[in-house]
Amino acid sequence: MDKVEGCTRALMEAVTSSEAYARYISVKEELSGQPELKKQINDFRRRNYLIQNQPDSEKLLLEMADLEREYEDFRKNPLVHEYLEAELRVCRMMQKISQALVSVIDLELDDIADAIIL
């Protein structure tokens, strides 16, 4: 096993043993007993993802505001709130890891930056 593979495994272990990931797993397991609520959460997550990754950035703010209004009461459910917050913490941790790697690896992306969806 080379050094990169070893470090990758160590990083995987660090992420999966982190407090953020443990909280996410705990809330996810709690949610597994409520399939209808899980479906509603996934519907929200799907719409949120599609809105944030659409090519028309002018519509983004309006559609996000509509989504937030539509799901305002739903998000007041403590389990929904906990799940989405736990998921966000894990996603942000993964983003920081990715950003740290990208910051030290020169892939010469400047010439195609306009095509990259972040």
Q: Evaluate whether residue 69 is within a structural domain.
A: yes
The total domain count for the chain is: 1
For residue 11, being part of any structural domain is answered with no
DSSP structure string for 53-85: T-S-HHHHHHHHHHHHHHTTTGGGSHHHHHHHH
Q: Answer yes or no: is 4 within a domain.
A: no
> pLDDT for 72-90, tens place per residue?
999 999 999 999 999 999 9
pLDDT digits (tens, 9 = 90+) for 14-42: 999 999 999 999 999 999 999 999 999 99
pTM: 0.83
Residue 88 belongs to a domain: yes
- What SS3 state is found at 10? helix
8 Å CB contact between 24 and 92 = no
